């Protein structure tokens, strides 16, 4: 009987267990130190706003795990002993494995300014963090949010929904400036202002001051002091690499894996936020922090661990999120550069979003319905849709399939006809002749 050990209780680990379970005789052991086990990380945003109850964050219950015949070991994995095929679990001794999956995810980077240790400073990285934020929000009157990307906005919206007055600090001159274009940033910022959020640009937090352990104010680099009793931040994430580093596995910014999700040790695999995956679009290994890819990576890794030979082909990144109450879909490559408010990568982000080659852009702008296309020589390279999502699936399929848009490219770039109308006509014709539609 083969013993499979999965380190991590997130979506990648659970998907791997599902894939391995086709082998009825397999022994599957899942190890994790999160007291809540497997829950929906993307759902935490809706938990903060009160739109989702805590119980709805758990897609698997005890019965589901029992059906998978997974043995759960709660504990912290201290080190991997490759020579003896063992993992040392803190407080539980050594655990033997035949095949091992590292799916321990990533952790939020800590705010490193004086006062960051005070009561009333919080990040959003786990269920425990979300619970703590909700407790702090009950007493908070004025909060400051620091950071960029999706998670920072989730913090802003969660606090606003709890009737907390929010000031949002951004280092640059607009929101998420390396993924969104200026018009898209201004749409989000305008909606935040309508909700009563104060935005301060070119702002860098210098120090949090307090009294008797409680926050009173935050001082900016330019000398301004902002009164507050709560500070929340989201400044990026870092893959959990300690285990891989101590085991001398090949690493760059994440654990390097081949197309089979295999590390440089034939019996050890990696998937999810911790893995650095080869991207055929850019020709390099990149980091993703997206729920869908993590699940697929885990499933493919599980198949291969149990004897399969399935290549993981990194798909065009696709993320549907909500920004300032506006449903937003991001597909393919849409931006470039780095975000001053984020160190490395943020949750809900993909480095492929910003691997923009030489291309032209065209867009159609309305107050709440916005469409931007990134147009290559013969194909669409990316798209951003805000509001109306009727073109979301067609655009995803056309971008993934590298549909030849040569016949409509001049019309798209001229901008004399509504982009949506041009795309719908093309989609209707293209899907009749292409099996990938």
Got the DSSP string for 327-342? EEEEEE----S--TT-
* CATH code for the domain of 163: 3.50.50.60
Give the pLDDT of residue 207: 98
52, 115: one domain? no
Whether 361 is in a domain gets the answer yes
205, 249: one domain? no
Per the DSSP assignment, residues forming a β-bridge with 71 are: 29
81, 149: one domain? no
Query: What's the distance, CA 113 to chain centroid?
Result: 25
What SS3 class is residue 59?
Answer: coil
Nearest to 143 by CA among 217, 231, 220: 231
Structural domains of the chain, count: 3
Whether 278 is in a domain gets the answer no
Whether 374 is in a domain gets the answer yes
List the helix and strand counts (H, then E) for the chain: 11, 26
Whether 153 is in a domain gets the answer yes
CB 25 within 8 A of CB 3: no
pLDDT in tens, the chain (437 residues): 899 999 999 999 999 999 999 889 999 999 999 999 999 999 999 999 999 999 999 988 778 888 899 999 999 999 999 999 999 999 889 999 999 999 999 999 999 999 999 999 999 999 999 999 999 999 999 999 999 999 999 999 999 999 999 999 999 999 999 889 999 999 999 999 999 999 999 999 999 999 988 899 999 999 999 999 999 999 999 999 999 999 999 999 999 999 999 999 999 999 999 999 987 666 778 888 889 999 999 999 999 999 999 999 888 888 899 999 999 999 988 877 666 766 555 565 555 555 544 455 666 655 568 999 989 889 998 999 999 898 999 999 999 999 999 999 999 888 788 888 899 999 999 988 876 66
Q: CA 345 to CA 335: how far, in whole Å?
A: 14
CB 301 within 8 A of CB 311: no
Give the pLDDT of residue 273: 96
In degrees to the nearest 10, what's the CA dihedral of 186, 192, 195, 197? -120
Give the pLDDT of residue 314: 85
Cα→Cα distances 329→317, 319, 321, 371, 407, Å: 10, 6, 6, 10, 25
CB 38 within 8 A of CB 59: yes
Domain encompassing residue 82? 3-104+239-272+284-302
Give the pLDDT of residue 358: 45
Helix axes 127-139, 149-161, angle to 10 degrees: 40
180, 130: one domain? yes
Whether 307 is in a domain gets the answer no
Give the pLDDT of residue 357: 46
Nearest to 310 by CA among 318, 321, 298, 326: 298
322, 388: one domain? yes
214, 70: one domain? no
Whether 322 is in a domain gets the answer yes
91, 141: one domain? no
100, 116: one domain? no
> Which of the 8 DSSP states describes residue 84?
T
Whether 404 is in a domain gets the answer yes
88, 142: one domain? no
* CATH code for the domain of 347: 3.30.390.30
118, 230: one domain? yes
121, 216: one domain? yes
Nearest to 364 by CA among 425, 323, 419, 414: 419
Whether 403 is in a domain gets the answer yes
9, 88: one domain? yes
Q: CA 429 to CA 408: how far, in whole Å?
A: 12
């Amino acid at each position: 009987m083969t013993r499979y050990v999965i380190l991590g209780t997130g979506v990648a680990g659970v998907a791997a267990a599902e894939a391995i379970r086709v082998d009825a005789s397999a022994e599957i052991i899942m190890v994790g130190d999160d007291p809540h086990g497997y829950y929906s990380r993307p759902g935490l945003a809706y938990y903060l706003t009160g739109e989702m109850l805590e119980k709805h964050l758990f897609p698997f219950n005890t019965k589901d795990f029992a059906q998978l015949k997974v043995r759960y070991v709660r504990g912290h994995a201290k080190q991997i002993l490759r020579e003896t095929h063992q993992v040392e679990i803190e407080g539980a001794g050594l655990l033997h494995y035949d095949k091992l999956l590292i799916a321990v995810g990533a952790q939020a980077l800590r705010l490193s300014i004086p006062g960051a240790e005070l009561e009333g400073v919080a990040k959003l990285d786990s269920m425990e963090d979300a619970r703590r934020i909700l407790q702090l929000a009950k007493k908070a009157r004025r909060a400051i949010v620091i950071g960029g990307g999706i998670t920072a906005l989730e913090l802003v919206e969660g606090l606003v929904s709890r009737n907390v007055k929010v000031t949002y600090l951004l280092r640059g001159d607009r929101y998420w400036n390396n993924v969104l274009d200026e018009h898209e940033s201004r749409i989000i910022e305008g909606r935040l202002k309508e909700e009563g959020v104060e935005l301060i640009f070119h702002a860098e937090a210098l120090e949090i001051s307090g009294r008797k352990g409680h926050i009173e104010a935050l001082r900016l680099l330019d000398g301004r002091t902002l009164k507050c009793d709560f500070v929340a931040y989201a400044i990026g994430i870092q893959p959990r690499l300690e285990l891989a580093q101590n085991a001398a596995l090949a690493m760059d910014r994440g654990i390097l894996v081949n197309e089979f999700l295999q590390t440089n040790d034939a019996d050890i695999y990696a998937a999810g936020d911790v893995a650095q995956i080869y991207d055929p679009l850019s020709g390099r290994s990149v980091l993703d922090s997206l729920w869908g890819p993590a699940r697929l990576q885990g499933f493919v890794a599980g198949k291969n661990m149990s004897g399969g030979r399935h290549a993981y082909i990194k798909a065009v990144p696709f993320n549907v999120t909500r920004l300032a109450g506006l449903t937003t879909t991001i597909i393919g490559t849409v931006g470039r550069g780095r975000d001053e408010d984020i160190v490395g990568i943020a949750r809900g982000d993909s480095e492929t979003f910003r691997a923009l080659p030489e291309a032209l852009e065209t867009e159609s702008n309305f107050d709440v319905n916005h469409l931007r296309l990134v147009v290559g020589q013969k194909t669409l390279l990316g798209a951003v849709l805000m509001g109306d999502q009727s073109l979301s699936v067609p655009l995803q399929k056309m971008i993934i399939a590298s549909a030849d848009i040569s016949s409509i490219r001049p019309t798209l770039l001229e901008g004399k006809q509504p982009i949506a109308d041009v795309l719908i006509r093309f989609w209707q014709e293209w899907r009749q002749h292409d099996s990938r539609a």
